[in-house]
């Protein structure tokens, strides 16, 4: 599907490092359209989404639980679920339900907890699952690894084995678990149009990944950023958090995330050419968010703008514009919005001579020693 040959300049056309650093991360980023297609095939053939919808048809709300990137999946999944089903949904880190279970669960009778973990072995997610089970609260799990401890603790499990990764950081597992949660929401809502748009997504985005890696690489190599700020509203805020985490993990660089309009209220003091501001522009908030973009550009910001369709205002204020041009509804395009952030982290790490596959101090799974206090 992807052209992995060298460019006329003799450089890898897809942004790969010639030294071997980041090869797994890049391959996993580029594999996402194919991975999504395989995940949808499995979900459809197994009928698990219909099973979940039937098991939890009396749900009055949804509580998405995760750690790190999986928590950011939860943030965007919660917004999509509310938008499609009109039921309340919230995302919380697993540590919140462990430390403050009565606060998190208060007033949420017949809410369905959704435990998100790529490995199915994340200690805090497992402990949250144990707590829920001890209170006789049925739970759904979304994971990429079959036959792991989380599977035994959850009532129903959605497993996406094609989405698992060799690299430490999450890329295709993030987007695939997000898409699975969105596909479930569309089934719960009986929204076949939204579901169909998700299934068409793999073919529609494949062309975008032909040129984007080299574009992001060239942009990164033309700058030396001291700080990174990632901005988004609504469902895009979870993506902004994930963008910042990818830069932190892969490039060992300081990155922050804010709701776009909140950036005016103090944080904009950091604006300058050495700080990259990433704007994930939505449709519903486009005018207000574009005003912030223009304001920050006027203060001297360097900007990367990700948007589905850009107008002249966004084009004029963007140092790098990533225009998706997809036909899916707004929340159906969340997964492809991730490409630019994943590549930003990868290319920034390679620029610094790091191996984005193996970030310092990190492991693929966070496992903690047994602790009876939790």
Query: What's the pLDDT score for residue 4?
Result: 36
Across the range 28-50, mean pLDDT stands at 96
pTM of structure: 0.92
pLDDT band at 231 (very low <50, low <70, confident <90, very high): very high
User: Hey, which CATH number is domain 207-351, 3.30.70.2860, 3.30.390.50, 3.40.800.20, 3.40.50.10490?
Assistant: 3.40.50.10490
Task: Write the CA distances from 299 to 94, 108, 109, 200, integer angstroms.
Answer: 38, 45, 48, 40
Q: How confident is the model at residue 13 (pLDDT cuts 50, 70, 90)?
A: very low
pLDDT of residue 361: 76
Distances (CA, A) of 225 to 137, 251, 257, 344: 47, 11, 16, 12
Q: Show me where the domains of the chain are located.
A: 31-201, 207-351
Domain 31-201 has CATH 3.40.50.10490: yes
pLDDT in tens, 277-314: 999 999 999 999 999 999 999 999 999 999 999 999 99
pLDDT band at 1 (very low <50, low <70, confident <90, very high): very low
- Are the folds of 31-201 and 207-351 the same? yes
Question: What value does the mean pLDDT take over residues 316-330?
Answer: 97
Say yes or no to pLDDT of 161 above 50: yes
**Apex CA 293: angle with CA 75 and CA 259, to 5°?**
25
pLDDT at 9 over 50: no
| DSSP states of 289-346 | HHHHHHHHHHTT-EEEEEESS--HHHHHH-SEEEE----S-GGGGHHHHHHHHHHHHH
Lowest-confidence region among 2-6, 193-197, 275-279, 348-352? 2-6
Average confidence score pLDDT of the chain: 92
CB 203: neighbour CB atoms within 10 A? 12
Provide the pLDDT for residue 15: 41
């Amino acid at each position: 599907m992807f052209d992995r040959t060298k460019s006329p300049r003799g450089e890898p056309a897809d942004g790969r490092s010639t030294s071997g650093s980041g090869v797994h991360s890049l391959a996993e980023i580029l594999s996402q359209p194919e991975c999504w297609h395989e995940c949808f095939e499995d979900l459809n053939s197994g009928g698990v989404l219909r099973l979940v919808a039937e098991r939890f048809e009396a749900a009055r709300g949804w509580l998405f639980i995760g750690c790190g990137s999986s928590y950011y999946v939860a943030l965007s999944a919660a917004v999509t679920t509310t938008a499609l089903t009109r039921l309340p949904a919230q995302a919380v880190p697993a540590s919140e339900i462990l430390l403050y279970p009565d606060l998190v669960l208060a007033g949420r009778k017949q809410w369905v907890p959704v435990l998100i973990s790529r490995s199915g072995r994340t200690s805090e997610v497992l402990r949250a699952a144990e707590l829920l089970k001890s209170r006789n609260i049925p739970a759904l799990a979304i994971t990429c690894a079959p036959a792991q401890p989380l599977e035994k603790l959850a009532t129903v499990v959605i497993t996406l084995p094609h989405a698992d990764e060799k690299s430490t950081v999450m890329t295709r597992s993030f987007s695939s678990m997000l898409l699975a949660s969105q596909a479930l929401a569309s089934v719960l809502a009986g929204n076949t149009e939204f579901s169909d748009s998700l299934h068409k997504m793999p073919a529609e985005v494949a062309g975008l990944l032909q040129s984007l890696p080299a574009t992001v690489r060239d942009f990164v190599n033309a700058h030396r950023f001291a700080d990174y700020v990632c901005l988004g509203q609504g469902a895009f805020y979870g993506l902004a958090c994930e963008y910042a985490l990818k830069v932190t993990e892969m490039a060992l660089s300081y990155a922050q995330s804010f709701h776009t309009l909140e950036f005016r209220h103090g944080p904009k003091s950091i604006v300058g050419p050495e700080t990259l501001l990433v704007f994930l522009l939505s449709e519903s908030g486009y005018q207000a968010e574009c005003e912030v973009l223009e304001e920050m550009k006027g203060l001297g910001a360097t900007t990367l703008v990700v948007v589905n369709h850009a107008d002249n205002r966004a084009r004029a204020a963007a140092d790098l514009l990533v225009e998706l041009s997809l036909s899916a509804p707004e929340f159906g395009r969340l997964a492809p919005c991730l490409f630019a952030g994943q590549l930003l982290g990868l290319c920034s790490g390679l620029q610094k001579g790091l191996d984005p596959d193996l970030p310092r101090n990190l492991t693929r799974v966070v496992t903690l020693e047994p602790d009876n206090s939790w």
